[in-house]
Amino acid sequence: MTRGEMLDFVQRVLDAVPVEHAVAELGEERSASVRFGRNAITQNVDTFRRELRLWIGDGSRKTEYRTHRIDTAAIQDMVREAVARLRNSPPDPEYVPPADGGQIYRTVDAWDESTGGIDPGPRMDAAASAVSAAEAAGAEAAGISRMDSSRRALATSTGNLCFHEATAGIFQLTVLAGSGSSYRSTVSKAWSAIPVRRIVDEVVAEALSARNPADSQPGEIDVVLEPQAVADLVSFVLYSLNARESDEGLTVFTGREGSRVASERFTLESDMNGEVPGTPFDRDGFAADDQVWIESGVLRTMMRDRFWAGKTGLPAVVSPGCFSVPGGEGTAADLAAQSRRCLRIRRFWYIRFVDQKTLTLTGMTRDGVFLCENGSVTPVKDFRWNWKPLELFSRIEALGTPERKGFMTVPPMLLRSIPV
Amino acid sequence: MRELAAFAVSELAASGVEYGDARVEDRAVESMTFRGMRLEDAVDSTSEGVGVRAIVNGCWGFASSTGLDREAVSTAVERAVRIAASGAGKTGSRVRLSAQTPRMGSYSSPCIEDPFGVDKSEKMGLLEECSRIMNSDSAITSTYAQLHSERIDRVLASTEGTLVESHLIHTQPFLQAFAVHGGDAQSRSLQTGARAAGWEWIRENDLLAASERVRDEAIEKVMAPEGPSGVMDLVLDGLNLSLTMHESVGHATESDRALGWEANMAGRTFVRLSDPGSLRYGSDIVNFTADNTMPIGLASWGWDDDGTPCQKWHTVRNGIFQEFGTVRETALLVGRDASRGCCRAQDFGFFPINRQPNFYLEPSLEPVTPDDLISGIARGIFIQGRGSFSIDQNRVNFQFGGDFFREIRDGKLGGPLKKVLYGARTTEFWGACDGIADARFFQPMGLLTCGKGEPMQGARMTHGASPARFRGITVGGGVR
């Protein structure tokens, strides 16, 4: 459907709703990917979903209905079904109507026309390039080349009407070379911005250099986290930035707004028009905006839904879907050179909360750990760790150049004296 | 749905593919969640669409679309064939499927009382009462009470002549209470999981009694001392073991991991292609049975997404690894003639991949009670339910927690503990199992959300065990 058709459809749904409050959202998602493993294509897919979400409320009760049956002629049936469900709903003591009318939405350019065309050629060429380079090096490639597009139209009974569309090109590559491996995940709104050939060459070379790792030794040591490893940890900090759960005593941030929670070198913010494009509105039609969550180590704000905002007298804060940790200059290797002896870690795997209250995590290293000492770089084996990321981010000695990793941009970090 | 599946297959055949199949699905989900005393979410959704696979010149193509009409089917067929053709010959490898006799039939999961037929007001009343019970103590600051029901109707047809139907009902209750005390917060949950069953599974859980237990044990837990560190013996209940076996046995014995297909995401496995019949996975009393025919099992569909009939086999017998779980494409690559029927997708919108079957730890054939296991321990911990869990990508090094812990001293259960972690290496851990309770104490546990693959997709399966004893396990972290 075109943008105009999608907006017209959600408006028609709203027009048919006989109760006071409603939000109609129509979404389309197309995702196409080539997956490869052990130097062979294992998947080659092109999927499409279109879904209508209808939320209705009468001032005290609410309900939500979702369907794939998108048909203008069936709107009355859908609305009748939703209204019948509403009658069975109990009063909601936390009832909040859709976002007030007159929301001002940020303009975010998240669409790349070429990527949105979902052409299979570049995906297959990228996979073939990785496989042939790995085979030539006597290694095995696994990964995915993927193009996604999504489009959302949303209308509220309070008078808001909004549309957002986004594309993403994603190239992930793992190369296995005997006991060595390496990994890279690259995301951009434009597939054409992903330097496939350079990534393939780097990852193959890194995997070869990671062969025959030595045992890692327990003790305190400087650690350089590559951007992927930083992103893996920051996502758990984001998960804990929940104002209500903090007020209920359940997170590490309870009672700490305005207090220092990390090094002054650590800032966590959202820039709607940064390298990761933001999402201009939430599911209620509430406008998202730039935020500073942690500023120079001090906790400034958390995500706060509109009910909790009303209850606490503080502003509502929604996730804009994009996050960044500002950095400095240089690569992870440059940071490692600033330490006499350090471990450089490429990424983590299977991170889980050990204790949500103290934000204690466990996880494993994966696809590259190196002991860097007096100019030499030696691969070492993966190890399990139990760390508190805010303690790690309190020991930042230096930051490198940020890179996009998924929905955030983060720099490599040099951390002093970390127990491993 | 049968007509649309047949139409898709006829379109595939007309396009000249080497192989093609179509899954036509219609799903309904009803989910209600109380947070505190409030109905936070009440979602009804329907989902319908088609997923089409095609092999052209040895290369897969898959396309899917929402909607159940001929236009959606034709578009999916055209896209699947086109992208399959675009990939043919690009890497020098060709897809080969193990032989499968075409099947026809219909499978329905057991359901005594249709959960979609139970009045919503009864469900909301039940959840509201559960929430009232859990929140009746001021030490509880946050609670969740949830009911989740799914109806899945699916038709699979292939160009080989398979035409099968599955009609499944899956139901899950969930309760959780958070207690805060002395600057700490701890939770306790009802974790009996999902089951291929109707509303009778909700009744069997006695949610009102469970709400009292969850509330009281959350408070006991937050006030308890932290658990000890060191090497000691453990008794783990069936719910705790369900996750430990899922991570350290189920994923480790998936054939696609052994082949390296998941190396970029879910990871590989320490189990080698040459290990069936020889690798010692656990002690002599450790027997893992895979069973996609168990009626309550979430992976019991009648036929998998390859059209292979669901089966029962030994993954580990008398401590020795027997066989990988396979799909038609991997069976030949791991030296088998036929698939074990482990090919499943989250829904019509996903390419089906190698998933874990239902599988469980066989209980003791001799009479053994949990007390018998505990009586043989001088110093240890009894762990119930699931908590923190993490394992390396080769499925060797793991660290698990639990949901409720009690000290064991001189053969008897003591008071509650909190913040207990145990860690081990997979084969050493299962090798340390020296006692399993009998079938009277068996607890199945159905998982709805096992994530794997790219794009990430969920899968469901059922595990289970009776309480079992493990000697000399490292507690408190520290396994590198």
Residues B366, B460: contact at Cβ < 8 Å? no
DSSP states of B5-33: HHHHHHHHHHTT-SEEEEEEEEEEEEEEE
Which residues are registered as beta bridge partners of B47? B27
Minimum-distance CB partner of B260 among A120, A176, A362: A176
Q: Is the pLDDT assigned to residue A234 strictly greater than 70? A: yes
Please choose, from the candidates B124, B66, B52, B35, the residue with its C-alpha nearest in 3D space to the C-alpha of residue A66: B66
> Hey, which residues 47-66 in chain B have their CB within 8 Å of chain A?
47-49, 51, 59-66
Torsion from C-alpha of B383, B387, B388, B392, nearest 10 degrees: 70
Q: Are A32 and B184 within 8 A, CB to CB?
A: no
Tell me what pLDDT residue A69 has: 82
pLDDT digits (tens, 9 = 90+) for A68-101: 888 888 888 889 989 988 988 888 989 999 999 9
Q: Map B231-252 to HEC letters.
A: EEEEEECHHHHHHHHHHHHHCC
* B 287-346: CB under 8 A from A: none
Is A172's CB within 8 Å of B264's CB?
yes
Per-residue tokens: B260 = 């390296």
Q: A30 to chain B nearest CA, in Å?
A: 9
Please check the confidence at residue A183 and state whether its pLDDT lies above 70. Answer: yes
Same domain, residue pair B155 and B275? no
Mean pLDDT across B394-406: 96
Do B76 and B190 lie in one domain? The reply is yes
Chain A touched by B124 (CB under 8 Å): yes
Asked if A298 and A269 count as a contact pair (C-beta separation under 8 A), the reply is: no
Which of A89, A364, A388 to mutate to test binding with chain B, by most B CBs within 10 Å of its CB?
A364
Q: Which two tokens stand for residue A263?
A: 């090094």
Q: Flag whether B480 is in a domain.
A: no
pLDDT band at B42 (very low <50, low <70, confident <90, very high): confident
Do B64 and A48 make contact, defined as CB atoms within 8 angstroms?
yes
For residues B176-203, b (16+ Cβ closer than 10 Å) or e, as one string? bbbbbbeebbbbbbbbbbbbbbbbebbe
pLDDT at B62: 98
- Each domain of chain A, given as residue ranges in start order, spans 3-206, 213-420
Local confidence band at B479 (pLDDT 50, 70, 90 cut-offs): low
CA pair distance A6, A123, nearest whole angstrom: 29
Q: What is the pLDDT of residue B195?
A: 98
CB of B424 within 8 A of CB of B398?
A: yes
CATH code reported for the domain at A3-206: 3.30.2290.10
SS3 category, A122: helix
Q: Distance between CA atoms of B463 and B357, rounded to whole angstroms?
A: 9
Q: Which residues contact B369 (CB under 8 A, 6 or more apart)?
A: B437, B438, B440, B441
Burial class of B122 by CB neighbour count within 10 A (0 to 12, 13 to 18, 19+): exposed
Q: How near does any CA of chain B get to the CA of A309, in Å? A: 16
Residue-wise pLDDT tens digits, B68-109: 999 999 999 999 999 999 888 887 789 999 999 999 999 999
> Does B392 contact A at CB distance below 8 Å?
yes
DSSP per-residue codes, B207-222: HHHHHHHHHHHHHHHH
**Sequence-separated (6 or more) residues with CB below 8 Å from residue A367:** A174, A181, A182, A183, A210, A346, A347
Give the pLDDT mean for B41-48: 87
Domain span holding position B459: 230-475
* Rg, C-alpha atoms of chain A: 24
Tell whether B173 is within 8 A of chain A (Cβ): no
Residues B6 and B11: their CA atoms lie apart, in Å, by 9
Q: Are residues B114 and B245 in the same domain?
A: no
Q: Do residues B184 and B287 both lie within one domain?
A: no
Chain mean pLDDT for chain A: 96
Contacts of B10 (CB under 8 A, 6+ apart): none
Same domain, B193 and B260: no
pLDDT at A302 over 70: yes
The mean pLDDT of B56-78, rounded to a whole number, is 94
Residues B276-291 have a mean pLDDT of 98
Does residue B477 have a pLDDT over 70?
no
**Which of B204, B223, B242 finishes a domain?**
B223
The phi, psi pair for B241, rounded to 5°, reads -65, -25
Residue B480 has a pLDDT of 58
Q: How far apart are CA B138 and CA B146, in angstroms?
A: 21
Q: Give the rounded percent of residues in chain A with a pLDDT score beyond 70.
A: 100
**What is the Cα–Cα distance from A391 to A402, expressed in whole angstroms?**
21
pLDDT digits (tens, 9 = 90+) for B201-224: 999 999 999 999 999 999 999 999
What pLDDT does residue A89 have? 85
Note whether B404 and B269 are same-domain residues.
Answer: yes
* B373 contact partners, CB below 8 Å, separation of at least 6: B235, B435, B437, B467, B468, B469
CA–CA–CA angle B394, B400, B402 (5° rounding): 155
The average pLDDT across B147-172 equals 98
How many CB atoms are closer than 10 A to CB A74?
A: 13
Euclidean distance between CA atoms A36 and B454, whole angstroms: 10
Residues B346, B270 within the same domain? yes
Shared-domain flag, residues B263 and B218: no
What does the alpha-carbon distance between residue B463 and residue B195 come to, in Å, rounded to a whole number? 11
Same domain, yes or no, for B106 and B9?
Answer: yes
CB B24 within 8 A of CB B348: yes
B-chain residues near A174 (CB < 8 A) = 263-264
Instruction: Give the C-alpha distances (Å, rounded to integers) separating A87 from A80, A90, A91.
Output: 11, 8, 10
Condensed to tens digits (0 to 9), the pLDDT of residues B338-354 reads 999 999 999 999 999 99
Residues B337 and B456 in one domain: yes
| CA angle B91–B305–B163, rounded 5-degree value | 120
Phi/psi at A130 (nearest 5 deg)? -65, -45
Is the previous residue joined to B455 through a cis bond, with omega within 30 degrees of 0? yes
Q: Is the pLDDT of residue B386 over 60?
A: yes
For residues A291 and A312, is the Cβ–Cβ distance under 8 A?
no
Residue of A nearest to B87 (CA): A124
Task: Determine how many CB atoms are found less than 10 A away from the CB of residue A402.
Answer: 20
In sequence order, the 6+-apart residues with CB closer than 8 A to the CB of B277 are: B320, B321, B322
Residues B380-404: what's their mean pLDDT?
96
SS3 content of chain A, % helix, strand, coil (to 5): 25, 40, 35
Give per-residue pLDDT as tens, A17-66: 999 999 999 999 999 999 999 999 999 999 999 999 999 999 999 999 88
pLDDT at B363 over 60: yes
Count of domains forming chain B: 2
Note the pLDDT of residue A158.
97
What average pLDDT is seen over chain B?
Answer: 96
Q: What is the pLDDT of residue B103?
A: 96
How far apart are alpha carbons A371 and A223 in whole angstroms? 9
Concatenating the DSSP letter of every residue in B73-93 gives HHHHHHHHHHHHHHHTTSSS-
Instruction: Round to whole Å and give the CA distance between B134 and B209.
Output: 10
pLDDT of residue B313: 98
* Residue B215 sits in the same domain as residue B262: no
Cβ neighbourhood burial of A104 (10 Å; 0-12, 13-18, 19+): exposed
Q: Do residues B260 and B396 both lie within one domain?
A: yes
* Chain A contact for B41 (CB, 8 A cutoff): yes
Last residue of a domain, one of B154, B189, B223: B223
Residue A229 has a pLDDT of 98
Question: Given B207, B223, B239, which residue is the final one in a domain?
Answer: B223
Q: What is the CATH number of the domain that holds B54?
A: 3.30.2290.10
Instruction: Give me the residues paired with residue B184 across strands.
Output: B181
Q: Which pLDDT belongs to residue A216?
A: 85
